[in-house]
């Protein structure tokens, strides 16, 4: 572990000498993550990217990329582009990255089942904004908006998310 790592605890994510409240997947933490199980996968996950809504916030870091209209994330195991960012129109099941709500205004990408996805092992695990305190995700890790922004400004590509089962 390094000071740049984000470590999930029972109380939240420990990072940079602080504890940030967070929510995890409705399925809890799992060693056997599967598509649609709602679980947050255990393991050590590298930070591999950051996306943000330029119409809703300034660029949080120099390596963050804008979410454009039509940006999607494939979550369909039958899609050749499963667990990759794709563009609309897209004929397979997907999540819209440019949402009406603020959940994906800022998205930190992990390397869960990426870049070479194993079909059915579960699509992307993001760090993103929560709906409200205590409301579970579909497997991602979610934070209060201001906390997510603080984390985004402080992480590096060498940062990892450590989730213990």
Pairing mode of beta strands 65-66, 43-52: parallel
What contacts 24+ positions apart, CB below 8 Å, involve 69-75?
Answer: 69/98, 70/98, 71/96, 71/97, 71/98, 72/96, 72/97, 73/97, 73/123, 73/124, 74/123, 75/35, 75/123, 75/124
Q: Specify the CATH number for the domain of residue 148.
A: 2.40.440
Contact 61, 51 (CB under 8 A): no
pLDDT in tens, the chain (165 residues): 888 999 999 999 999 999 999 999 999 999 999 999 999 999 999 999 999 999 999 999 999 999 999 999 999 999 999 999 999 999 999 999 999 999 999 999 999 999 999 998 999 999 999 999 999 999 999 999 999 999 999 999 889 999 998
User: In whole angstroms, what is the distance from residue 121 CA to residue 39 CA?
Assistant: 11
CA angle 3, 150, 136 (to 5 degrees): 95
Task: Provide the domain count of the chain.
Answer: 1
Q: Given this model, what pLDDT does residue 1 score?
A: 82
Q: Given this model, what pLDDT does residue 3 score?
A: 85
Residue 49 forms part of a structural domain: yes
User: In whole angstroms, what is the distance from residue 79 CA to residue 82 CA?
Assistant: 5
Residue 38 forms part of a structural domain: yes
Q: Spell out the alpha helix ranges (H) of the chain.
A: 145-154
Residue 19 forms part of a structural domain: yes
Q: Spell out the alpha helix ranges (H) of 73-144.
A: none
CA distances in angstroms from 150 to 50, 80, 83, 136, 145, listed in the order given: 13, 35, 27, 21, 9
Residue 1 forms part of a structural domain: no
Residue 136 forms part of a structural domain: yes
Per-residue b or e along 107-131, where b marks 16 or more CB atoms closer than 10 Å to that residue's CB: bbbbbbbbeebeeebbbbbbbbbbe
Domain that holds residue 148: 6-163
Residue 95 forms part of a structural domain: yes
Q: Given this model, what pLDDT does residue 109 score?
A: 98
User: In whole angstroms, what is the distance from residue 85 CA to residue 81 CA?
Assistant: 8
Residue 42 forms part of a structural domain: yes
Q: Given this model, what pLDDT does residue 165 score?
A: 82
Residue 64 forms part of a structural domain: yes
């Amino acid at each position: 572990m390094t000071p740049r790592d984000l470590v999930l605890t029972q109380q939240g994510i420990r990072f940079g000498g602080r504890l940030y409240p967070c929510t995890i997947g409705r399925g809890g933490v799992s060693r056997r993550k599967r598509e649609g199980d709602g679980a947050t996968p255990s393991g050590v996950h590298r930070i591999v990217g950051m996306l943000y809504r330029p119409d809703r916030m300034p660029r949080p870091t120099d390596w963050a990329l804008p979410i454009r209209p039509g940006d999607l994330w494939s979550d369909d195991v039958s899609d050749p582009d499963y667990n990759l960012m794709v563009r609309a129109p897209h004929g397979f099941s997907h999540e819209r990255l440019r949402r009406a709500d603020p959940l994906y205004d800022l998205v930190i990408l992990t390397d869960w089942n990426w870049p070479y996805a194993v079909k059915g092992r579960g699509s992307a695990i993001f760090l993103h904004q929560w709906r409200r305190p205590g409301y579970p995700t579909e497997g991602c890790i979610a934070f209060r908006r201001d906390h997510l922004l603080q984390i985004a400004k402080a992480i590096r590509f060498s940062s990892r998310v450590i989730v213990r089962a």
